[in-house]
Amino acid sequence: MGTLTTLTDEAKIALDTLSDRTASLVSPSLRLGVTGLSRAGKTVFITALVHNLLHGGRLPLFQAQKSGRIARAYLEQQPDDAVPRFQYEDHLNALLDERIWPDSTRAISELRLTIEYESASMWNRMFSGGKLSVDIVDYPGEWLLDLPLLHKSYAEFSRPSFELAQLESRKDLAAAWLAAAGAVDPAGDANEMTAQGLAKAFTDYLRAGKADERALSTLPPGRFLMPGDLDGSPALTFAPLPSLGDGRTKPGSLAAMMERRYEAYKTHVVKPFFREHIARLDRQIVLVDTMQAINAGPAAVADLERALTEILSCFRPGVTNFLTGLVQRRIGRILVAATKADQLHHESHDRLQAIVRRLVDRAISRADFSGAQVDVLAMAAVRTTREATVTQGKDVLPVIVGTPIEGETIGDEEFDGKTETAIFPGDLPKDPDSLFEGPVAEDAMVRFVRFRPPKLERTAEGYTLSLPHIRLDRAIEFLIGDRLA
């Protein structure tokens, strides 16, 4: 990871870390990064985590709460005034009152949740009650896929882009861009309209790859799909070019123009994101919509594995001692969680977890995670279904019951968004490798549909009960449990 930064970058990171550590001596804090590729459920995860901690939700595997040591949890002003606040109240309203899923993460946001607790250690209890502020940093996983660009030249970015575009699962989506790129001369004169046309064709290809039927994950540069206020800027108006050598580009050429803009993208977009956010994290959870990839087939599953390998290689895992920790930050715990486990019967939850383990094995073997704890989990931050059984002839089938989102289909049946329905989702394969090896037989396919958030009861005083979940308590315990001991 050191190859992604210069000495100047490291000096700035050290100063930021020293400032954070100094403030933490007075008010202990922990920075928790929450990321994942689109539709993995980042917003829902944060909203459910905060709601359950604020309202004393049922979290039996979260030891500090199970043992009654948490006095209270509450929201405070976040420490970074220049970062938008995570709109917890709006997202909660969408889930509880409108029963719709909140908008997806489009940019970085932050929320501070402070927990007052009693230490499990008698020695610590003799001096003072415990207090920990958890600064939750929400950011798009697509932006993480940009970090490896920091140690790649423009030519090194272009070559694999064309190689990926030639894959069977992509080449029809990339056809217009490949044709446009093949029609230009990289050594020809720079032309703004040509650059804009290539950038648009390349962006259209990336956007098509995100559609449900393809569910591709490795689609850098990430800001091309989420440009924000950079939309139309030269830093986002470039595209890979074919047949580039490793030597210097001809001054005034199209390749030189694209190279300059690519370097500007790295300098003004990617580096600040890494330095100001990723390098300051203490813990990290990566959420994965594994089932969307499974629905799309082996190519999407393989692409998800490729993306996770890239993402996990971007973190700075490890441990620090008291002295080095003053100027150096390492991510001590990383959790990779497959979301939406409520779309399966509980008998398949362990199989889903095994699939996630298979997806991250390569990343763990390639990256140096010495000193850091890495775990995987199948979970649902908000449980939208309940389990039941139905009799079909002599067979008793395990089903899930919920209200599918309007427009969701299974076969010829289309759901209206109002009717509760029992669905037999099928079973995930026992062998995770089978998902990488070829088309799934029709009778072995798992049927995934998206459900509306559950309807929650209110108490006589008008308080809404905490959001139901699957294994959210395990995630919380792994991510912050040790800091509340």
Reduce the secondary structure of 395-443 to three states and give it as a string: EEEEEEEECECCCCEECCEECCCCCCEEECCCCCCCCHHHHHCCCCCHH
- pLDDT score, position 1: 41
- pLDDT score, position 347: 87
- pLDDT score, position 2: 42
User: Which pTM value belongs to this model?
Assistant: 0.89
- pLDDT score, position 30: 94
Q: How far apart are CA 292 and CA 212, in angstroms?
A: 7
At position 417, the amino acid (one-letter code) is: G
At position 112, the amino acid (one-letter code) is: R
- pLDDT score, position 316: 74
Angle between helices 349-366 and 298-312 (to 10 degrees): 50
At position 64, the amino acid (one-letter code) is: A
CA distances from 369 to 205, 288, 356 (A): 34, 20, 17
Per-residue pLDDT of the chain in tens (485 residues, 90 and over written 9): 445 566 666 667 667 666 666 666 557 899 999 998 878 999 999 999 999 999 989 999 999 999 999 999 999 999 999 999 999 999 999 999 899 999 887 789 999 999 999 987 766 655 556 899 999 999 988 888 898 898 899 999 999 999 999 999 899 999 999 999 999 999 999 999 999 999 999 999 999 998 877 888 888 998 998 887 788 899 999 999 998 988 899 999 999 999 999 999 999 999 999 888 888 899 999 999 998 888 888 888 999 998 888 888 888 766 665 545 555 678 889 999 999 999 999 989 999 999 999 998 877 776 666 678 889 999 999 999 999 988 888 888 889 999 999 999 888 889 999 999 999 888 888 889 888 876 655 554 577 889 999 988 766 655 567 899 999 999 999 999 999 98
Write the CB contacts of 4 (distance below 8 Å, at least 6 apart in sequence). 147, 148, 150, 151, 274, 314
